[in-house]
């Protein structure tokens, strides 16, 4: 499917003059309309206080006739002023044509029929995320499995708590099913992370997302017994400070992990609540008349917090403020469940409250919400600044790049294994989710191929080649790349627990060093090319085995072609020469068409170098 002939708009600076307008401010928005679209007039429809209002657009004389971003000298640019009347102001474009019915352009694309407002473009006036997030590359660390510091010495079973099953770092296999799974203890600590910061920085990551470090009766520590101190098993409070100081000295950042939906049944709050029905802490949980209580997925070791209690607001807010002297923000575990229970529906208000708590203590702190399904209703509400984008990135990429012999039992919680889908389906999925949030929520969300909660991407793809195609999409599409520790060496795992294999520092046979070098190259490409961090996104071509898009700014554009398996040559009606940037040779247009290679699996990137005709790029 060729898409270059369709009118285009997105929330990037190329199309929107101010991504963070104050309430009541006016913003210039622009539409790029190819000649083939046959558009004669453009209106913007803005929803003001719940009522749609239309405004006519005018042709932008500066951009029309110029090769904006290095291509499209025949495109007409339309511009119009939109006022941010409401905290979230929706708008779309009405395109009249010389022949044929008018078209709508929303964030979901161009359609010839009426569609609900849910996919309208959005101006958001709430305080924007911190600027540093736009350049972040996040590296996820599971403390027990990343590294054991030299000073800690060999693991001594006699020093471990009664729940822990001591394991040897390089010889014991991870038990990924059964009651022993959360009890295996390999002995990673925070000073071990400090000793391997050179590895993380050499990869190109500049932000560590650290899984929980509060004391708990498990290796994953989501069943915390306290939020007031760091587990001595990973080095205690001083070790967390040493890690934060070491990162900050390198210009890197540290993100903490907090459970706002539940705590552990050994937590001091829950212990007080369970011991005395008249204790203030009793209101913090959902107890019934018989002393039973609500828990996460019915797991009794994870009692659910009742956000109807002011004491929960007070204490959780205090925890999140307190640790911001070492953390640069928080990833919020199961944020989608926080404040939701039966008729109770407080998630959006809680997110906004916690964001205010966080930025009051540290204005440059970030707040990312975990979702494994549809996140779109929880963003753009003055709370979570982005999400872990499983639904709009991880799942579609898996379905496109899954290996032929894959036999996983489910699909990130969906029964029946990972389905196989073609490129058109993948792009439709990505667009469906991206269309229902603002551009800024999309670009500040974490794009992940895997994590310590799901199977490893290398297991899903079954090959280095397809793994690299997925990595290429991760660093070239809008959003913040998040690398699960060990993914850069191609570690495997059939579920989230199995993905928690200790890092192979002393197991060279378990390391794919060619893959590691490719991670470095592609992350470096993202760091050196502004269009990959700040540019808009325009889909150009979708096919069963190939996806092509352009990331564009006012002064340059990068064209990306992802091919999952060898297909025919890809022809694009693009009259611009291409300069190879990654795994690509230069391509020149012939009669207004460029032809891209269709062999694969492969991920190739080119720079557009201006149209082979008239016009100059404009700023």
Which residues are marked as active site?
333, 370
Cα–Cα distance, 434 to 119 (Å, whole number):
9
Cα→Cα distances 608→70, 583, 589, Å: 5, 15, 11
Q: What is the DSSP letter of 411?
A: E
Q: Which helix (H) or strand (E) holds 524?
A: helix 513-528
Residue closest to 242 by CA, chosen among 319, 190, 188: 190
Cα–Cα distance, 195 to 173 (Å, whole number):
24
Cα–Cα distance, 404 to 420 (Å, whole number):
9
Q: What's the alpha-carbon Rg for the chain, to the nearest Å? A: 25
Cα–Cα distance, 382 to 360 (Å, whole number):
14
Structure tokens at 442: 């999309």
Residue closest to 559 by CA, chosen among 610, 616, 604: 604
Q: What is the dihedral of CA 127, 12, 26, 617, to 10 degrees?
A: 140
What's the N-to-C CA distance of the chain in angstroms?
30
Cα–Cα distance, 402 to 399 (Å, whole number):
6
Cα–Cα distance, 335 to 260 (Å, whole number):
7
CB 515 within 8 A of CB 481: no
Q: What is the dihedral of CA 297, 303, 309, 311, to 10 degrees?
A: -140
Q: How, if at all, do strands 536-542 and 546-552 pair?
A: antiparallel
Cα–Cα distance, 212 to 229 (Å, whole number):
11
The gap from C-alpha 415 to its chain's centroid, in whole angstroms, comes to 24
Cα–Cα distance, 171 to 36 (Å, whole number):
63
As a three-state string, the secondary structure of 236-275 is HHHHHHHHHHHHHHCCCEEEEEEECCECCCCCHHHHHHHH
Q: Which residues pair with 216 in a beta bridge?
A: 224
Q: Which residues pair with 537 in a beta bridge?
A: 551
């Amino acid at each position: 499917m060729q898409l270059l002939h369709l009118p285009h708009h997105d929330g990037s600076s190329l199309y929107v003059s101010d991504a963070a307008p104050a309430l009541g401010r006016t913003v210039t928005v622009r539409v790029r309309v190819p000649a083939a679209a046959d558009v004669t007039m453009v209106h913007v429809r803005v929803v003001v206080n719940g009522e749609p209002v239309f405004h006519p657009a005018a042709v932008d004389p500066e951009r029309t006739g110029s090769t904006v971003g290095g291509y499209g000298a025949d495109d007409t640019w339309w511009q119009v002023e939109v006022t941010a009347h409401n905290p979230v102001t929706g708008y779309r474009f009405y395109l009249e044509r010389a022949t044929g019915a008018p078209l709508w352009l929303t964030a979901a694309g161009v359609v010839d029929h009426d569609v609900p407002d849910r996919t309208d473009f959005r101006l958001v006036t709430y305080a924007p995320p911190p600027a540093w997030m736009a350049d972040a590359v996040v590296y996820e660390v599971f403390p027990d499995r990343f590294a054991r510091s030299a000073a800690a010495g060999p693991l001594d079973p006699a020093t471990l708590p009664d729940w822990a099953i001591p394991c040897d770092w390089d010889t014991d296999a991870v038990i990924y099913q059964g009651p022993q799974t959360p009890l295996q203890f390999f002995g990673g600590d925070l000073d071990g992370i400090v000793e391997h910061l050179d590895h993380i920085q050499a990869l190109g990551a500049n932000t560590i997302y650290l899984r929980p470090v509060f004391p708990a009766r498990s290796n994953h520590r989501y069943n915390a017994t306290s939020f007031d101190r760091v587990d001595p098993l990973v080095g205690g409070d001083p070790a967390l400070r040493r890690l934060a100081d070491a990162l900050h000295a390198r210009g890197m950042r540290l993100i903490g992990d907090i459970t706002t939906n539940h705590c552990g049944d050994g937590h001091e709050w829950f212990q007080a609540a369970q011991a005395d029905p008249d204790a203030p802490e009793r209101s913090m949980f959902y107890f019934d008349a018989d002393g039973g209580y609500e828990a996460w997925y019915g797991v009794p070791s994870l009692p659910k917090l009742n956000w109807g209690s002011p004491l929960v607001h007070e204490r959780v807010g205090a925890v999140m403020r307190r640790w911001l002297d070492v953390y640069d923000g928080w990833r919020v575990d199961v944020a989608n469940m926080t404040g939701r229970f039966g008729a109770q529906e407080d998630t959006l208000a809680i997110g906004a409250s916690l964001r205010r708590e966080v930025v009051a203590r540290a204005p440059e702190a970030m707040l990312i919400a975990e979702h494994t399904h549809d996140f779109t209703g929880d963003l753009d509400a003055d709370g979570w600044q982005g999400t872990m984008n499983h639904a709009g990135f991880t799942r579609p990429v898996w379905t496109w790049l899954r290996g032929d012999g894959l036999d996983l039992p489910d699909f990130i919680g969906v029964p029946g294994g990972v389905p196989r889908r073609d490129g058109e389906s993948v792009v439709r999925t990505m667009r469906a989710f991206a269309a229902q949030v603002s551009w800024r929520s999309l670009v500040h969300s974490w794009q992940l191929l895997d994590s310590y909660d799901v199977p490893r991407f290398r297991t899903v793809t079954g090959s280095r080649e397809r793994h690299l195609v997925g990595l290429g999409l991760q660093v070239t599409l809008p959003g913040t790349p998040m690398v699960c520790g060990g993914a850069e060496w191609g570690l495997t795992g059939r579920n989230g627990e199995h993905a928690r294999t200790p890092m192979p520092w002393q197991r060279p046979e378990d390391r794919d060093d060619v893959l590691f070098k490719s991670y470095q190259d592609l992350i470096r490409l993202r760091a050196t090319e502004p269009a990959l961090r700040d540019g808009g996104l325009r889909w150009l071509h979708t096919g069963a085995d190939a996806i092509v898009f352009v990331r564009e700014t006012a002064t340059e554009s990068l064209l990306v072609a992802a091919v999952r398996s060898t297909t025919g040559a890809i022809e694009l009606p693009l009259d611009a020469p291409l300069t190879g940037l990654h795994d690509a040779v230069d391509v020149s247009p012939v009669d207004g068409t460029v032809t891209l290679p269709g062999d694969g699996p492969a991920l190739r990137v080119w720079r557009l170098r201006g149209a082979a005709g008239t016009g100059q790029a404009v700023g």
